[in-house]
Amino acid sequence: MKIAVVGATGLVGTKMLEVLSERNFPLTDLILVASEKSVGKEINYKNKSYKVVSMQDAINLKPQIALFSAGGNTSLEWAPKFAEAGITVIDNSSAWRMDETKKLVVPEINANTLLKSDKIIANPNCSTIQMVVALNPLHKKYKIKRVVVSTYQSVTGTGVKAVEQLMNERAGIDGEMAYKYKIDLNVIPQIDVFTDNGYTKEEMKMVNETKKIMGDATIKLTATTVRIPVIGGHSESVNVEFENDFDIKDIFELMKTTEGIVLEDDIKNAIYPMPMNAHNKDAVFVGRIRRDESQDKTLNMWIVSDNLRKGAATNAVQIAEYLVAHTLV
């Protein structure tokens, strides 16, 4: 089993290598790919050194699976070339997510839709992944009508440059700016560019991807996505209106027993999900569960997950694990 990691020197690519190692992914050979300027650079994986190769060299080496995290433009150009060579691409960019011919996969929800013929598989947006993991069991039982979500997103979602900006500001150092504004001691209510309807691309990703992953275009969703000076993970305040009423005890039980979710909800002892505790973990943490007293059949919840792990690298590796386990590569 040959695996290629495309974008191996970036934040998500580095995390993919960590996750592959931690989960003992059954690979026999590893191919590391990055930009031309990184070709020849050596990267350590499980005490063995691997040289970074070019895109074409990676295709020539014929891996079975390529984990892509190198940006949308790179994916648009190169994913089809890998696919044409018979390589299954799992792409972490937004390039293929809303393509009607491509699957958008969160393994806990819809991995069972994957076929051997799916050669480009899209990994959803980080803020969408953690939300739908929590929403899916609720939708199955009570049918979701409408979701209102506000996010509190880590600077790691932007990349290394944003982390450096935050740390430079904390240290009083002038440096390169990833954002238009200072991020330390601040909150920026803009993630990605604004679209014609006044929402950002990040907000519209959450709207559109949720419907596609959950296979239900009738779900109404509105989002406000916000960048905060945190590095541990993304947090979300989620308000969900259902078609059918619920017993709050059943909600707790569902969250407790759903794969991939850790329930942290003990308000007497001030226990609830926080990015500092979600950092470097693969679970989606759910807490602050309570009935919305302003409206019938409506629930409030707080969802936190490490955006580089379950929100990106781990989800991609889980897709690869599913493909291997079901001999789809």
Q: What is the pLDDT of residues 229-263, one digit of tens each?
A: 999 999 999 999 999 999 999 999 999 999 999 99
In the chain, the largest separation of any two C-alpha atoms, in whole Å, equals 60
Give the whole-angstrom CA distance, residue 306 versus residue 154: 9
What are the CA-CA distances from residue 146 to residues 197, 211, 242 (Å)? 19, 11, 7
Determine the pLDDT at residue 240: 98
Instruction: Please state the domain extents for the chain.
Output: 2-124+312-325, 127-307
Residues of the chain with pLDDT under 70: none
Say what the pLDDT of residue 110 is: 97
Per-residue confidence (pLDDT) for residue 36, from 0 to 100? 86
Distance CA 130, CA 153 (A): 12
Bridge partners (DSSP) of residue 238 are: 149, 301
Question: Can you give the pLDDT at residue 35?
Answer: 87
Marked catalytic residue, from 139, 234, 279, 326: 234
Distance (Å, rounded) from C-alpha 130 to C-alpha 285? 9
Rounded CA gap, 109 and 119, in Å?
19
The CATH number assigned to the domain with range 127-307 reads 3.30.360.10
Query: CA 314, CA 318: separation in Å to the nearest integer?
Result: 6
pTM of the predicted model, to two decimals? Answer: 0.96
Among the listed residues 134, 141, 135, 144, the one whose alpha carbon sits nearest the alpha carbon of residue 298 = 144
What homologous superfamily does CATH list for 2-124+312-325?
Answer: NAD(P)-binding Rossmann-like Domain (3.40.50.720)
Active site residue 126: yes
- What are the helix (H) ranges across the chain? 11-22, 55-60, 72-84, 107-110, 126-142, 160-171, 201-214, 248-257, 275-278, 314-325
pLDDT of residue 148: 98
Angle formed at CA 110 by CA 96 and CA 240, multiple of 5 degrees: 95
Closest CA to 301 of 275, 277, 272, 278: 272
In this predicted structure, what is the pLDDT of residue 260?
96
Handedness of CA 44, 175, 234, 302 (dihedral sign): positive
